[in-house]
Amino acid sequence: MLRVMSRSLVPDAVERYVAMEISRETPLQRRLREETSHLPLAGMQIGADQGALLAMLVRLMGARRAIEIGTFTGYSALAVASALPAGGKLVCCDVSEEWTSIARRYWKEAGVADRIQLKLAPASETLAALIRDGGTGTFDFAFIDADKSNYDAYYEACLRLLRAGGLIALDNMLWSGRVADPQFHDDDTDALRALNAKIRDDARVDACLMTVGDGVMLAQKRPPQ
Ligand SMILES: C[S@@+](CC[C@H](N)C(=O)[O-])C[C@H]1O[C@@H](n2cnc3c(N)ncnc32)[C@H](O)[C@@H]1O
């Protein structure tokens, strides 16, 4: 029996309803969730509803080129890559050979491995290399879901890599509600709280903080003024 990880601020029964009754998952996605659930850090995996959201955004935009920062066992990458058209490309950034070796197995089984380029290196290095190699303005979609203290740097790099109209989705922007408590301070909470406020005031994007999961911030790059 698959347990529901608590990710969101909605009551447990509602989260269970969303995750187990209403969110559609392929048998392969379900198997990946099952295998991941045995890992000590299983709670890092996005929810089924978030996977469906990312896939829908990718399809709505007609995205062809995407970036992911934080891959873990590959659930979000599987959702995004499966929503890309044939010939689409997803660059995945992670530092863990162990976790991403699980991801590779599932991508292969889903028939999307040829769309995914996994870069095992600190994401800041991979993003800098993409910019250096002429990637500026060439991506449609980015999903940020890795180390929180570097989110601002990832946001800035992704903004450069996206075309006008491109979309960045950032996970965990509610940080279990801690960002909303001005008395609460630690490095990650302070970084995420500051980034929420920065994006709110950022004239380069149109933005919306969605209360799905642990908070998904959507920031769409505006054309140059
Ligand atoms: C929250 S998990 C990602 C979950 C994933 N999106 C999913 O759907 O299952 C965060 C991942 O970020 C990776 N990570 C942490 N620091 C990193 C860094 N500096 N560069 C690249 N990846 C990093 C971790 O190895 C971990 O796999």
Q: Express each pLDDT in 198-211 by its tens digit.
A: 999 999 999 999 99
Mean pLDDT of the chain: 96
Collapsing DSSP to helix, strand or coil, 183 comes out as coil
Closest residue by Cα to residue 73 from 49, 54, 50, 97: 97
d(CA 37, CA 44): 10
Residue at 94: amino acid letter: D
Residue nearest to atom 11 of ligand 1 (CA): 70
Asked whether residue 2 carries a pLDDT value surpassing 70, the answer given is: no
Do the beta carbons of residue 141 and residue 79 sit within 8 Å? no
Residue nearest to atom 13 of ligand 1 (CA): 70
Quick one: pLDDT at residue 168?
99
Do the beta carbons of residue 177 and residue 98 sit within 8 Å? no
Kindly state the average pLDDT of the residues 33-38: 97
The first and second tokens of residue 206, run together, are 């149109």
Asked whether residue 15 carries a pLDDT value surpassing 80, the answer given is: yes
Lowest mean pLDDT among 13-17, 26-30, 152-156, 187-191: 13-17
> Residue 54: CB within 6 Å of ligand 1?
no
Q: What is the pTM of this model?
A: 0.97
d(CA 172, CA 16): 19
Quick one: pLDDT at residue 28?
98
Quick one: pLDDT at residue 57?
98
Asked whether residue 3 carries a pLDDT value surpassing 70, the answer given is: no
For a mutational test of ligand 1's pocket, the pick from 71, 102, 144, i.e. the residue with the most ligand atoms closer than 8 A to its C-beta, is 71
Quick one: pLDDT at residue 7?
75
The partner residues of 69 in beta bridges, in order of sequence, read 93, 144
> Residue 78: CB within 6 Å of ligand 1?
no
> Residue 146: CB within 6 Å of ligand 1?
yes
Instruction: Name the residue with tokens 């955004």.
Output: 57
Sequence-distant (6+) residues with CB within 8 A of 162 are 137, 139, 140, 141, 142, 168, 221
Kindly state the average pLDDT of the residues 29-56: 96
Asked whether residue 156 carries a pLDDT value surpassing 60, the answer given is: yes
Quick one: pLDDT at residue 6?
77
Asked whether residue 9 carries a pLDDT value surpassing 90, the answer given is: no
For the beta carbon of residue 111, count every other beta carbon within 10 angstroms. 11
Q: Which atom of ligand 1 is nearest to the CA of 50?
A: 8
Do the beta carbons of residue 141 and residue 61 sit within 8 Å? yes
* Span 62-71, pLDDT tens digits: 999 999 999 9
> Residue 96: CB within 6 Å of ligand 1?
yes
Residue nearest to atom 6 of ligand 1 (CA): 71
Sequence-distant (6+) residues with CB within 8 A of 2 are 20, 30, 33, 34, 37
Asked whether residue 1 carries a pLDDT value surpassing 60, the answer given is: no
Quick one: pLDDT at residue 20?
85
Q: Which residue has the higher pLDDT, 224 or 143?
A: 143
The first and second tokens of residue 207, run together, are 């933005």
Query: Residue 136 C-alpha to ligand 1 middle, in angstroms?
Result: 23
Kindly state the average pLDDT of the residues 24-45: 96
> Residue 42: CB within 6 Å of ligand 1?
no
* Span 122-144, pLDDT tens digits: 999 999 999 999 999 999 999 99
Sequence-distant (6+) residues with CB within 8 A of 70 are 76, 93, 94, 123, 143, 144, 145, 146, 147, 171
Closest residue by Cα to residue 58 from 71, 41, 76: 76
Q: Which atom of ligand 1 is nearest to the CA of 100?
A: 27
Percent share of the chain, pLDDT over 70: 98
